[in-house]
Structure 1
Amino acid sequence: MGFELPRLFSGYIGKMAYDQTIRVFLADDHRLFRDGLKRILGETTDIVVVGEASDGFDALEKIHLGGWDVALLDVSMPGMSGLEVLKRIMIDDKKHQVLMLSTYHEDEYAIRAIRAGASAYLTKNSPTDLLISVIRRLANGKKYIDAALAEKLLFDLGPTSKMPHSILSDREFTVLKLITAGLSLTQIAQKLALSAKTVSTYRARLLEKMKMQNNAQLIRYVTEHKLLE
């Protein structure tokens, strides 16, 4: 699991105080990660996990029931990704406080998440104290974006032409990354809980959008633009 267990954590990070408990909803398809995160948050005096889900569809259904203050969503989940869940709940209320978690370090996912309405984006190997601090910040109605990402978001709003991969849908971009990581269409289908035919359709669409003809060209593009780093 990415987050470190806290060693000598005490008090409120940033000296923030709360009059009531922060209710967290957690969605991630890995049981061990959810259990580890619940143990970490259990070490605090003001944060409690009030609900959890192991896939996007279950998460969306439970999130709609309410009763939470901050939702922690894994970017990549089977069936419906965390980004798709985020977009759907933002249709109901754009004030929802959502922290997106991911194993991906690349800024492309972070930019997509922030644009879709996320209040923050962290990788799963972020320090425990940062995670807790961000949850408290979101519960206080604020957002968290690190300086490097904020700068990229600012420049990304300029008049410059978009990179080919930036016009892909979230699912198409995920399929692109998995293809260039060496997974077969069958393996991608299993990972995303989709049919091989559906994955093949996503591949055809992204090839068309990026004006490429085969996986070799995709791999070359991803390598040249360092999208796997």
Structure 2
Amino acid sequence: MADFVLVAGAWLGSWAWAEVVPSLRAAGHGAHPLTLSGLAEKRGVPAGQQTHVQDIVDEVEGRDLRDVVLVGHSYAGIPVGQAAERIGDRLTRVVFVDSEVPVDGESFASGFWQGRAAFEAMLADDGFWPQPGAAEFDGQGLTDEQVTRLVEGATAHPGATLTEPAVLTGALGDLPATYIKCLLDGPEPNDAVAKLLTSDRWRLVTMATGHWPMFSQPTELARVLSAEAA
């Protein structure tokens, strides 16, 4: 059985995995949802990109986890991908859930679909990315209740984690990895992911749901994650 370390994307904390964790544990796995510094119950903790990478490494090493499956959703794919190469033989697999992937020397902002300048213009005067309103979640297979949970639970995201670059020492394509593409958020992975999927160590799984499957299809997501740990 695997130990899953679950890291949700921008604005979210460990609470986002509440409906996934019971299914993973019922299947016999360990499940460790993690809140990154500066978010949710860790609001006020200073954080840059490498802080988030270290949060994940510390979770694995502090709990002395083995047979680890690192799971990164959305933004969190960037620190998760970096942490995956830093935990050595503790890693069984890394799973990217409709996420960004780290590119050495590049940031979340530099890969933003409208460009870095457009993204930085979205940051508030305090340097945080403001949490979204309900309209952000339109067309993503979510019920009104699920959208309300997301909106009410979200916290502003520390901007430095989004503008500071990733640091990779090896080739991400050499890691055992799965990319879960949520089809309501677009039918094709981005170019960086498509290139990585040419590696024989990477595989693609699709889900017929939106960008937040831990809310819209938590049981199915847990099933997919369990299958990928095999």
TM norm structure 1: 0.38
**More helix, by proportion:** 1
Which structure has the higher relative contact order (CA within 8 Å, separation 6+)?
2
**More strand, by proportion:** 2
Greater gyration radius: 1
TM norm structure 2: 0.38
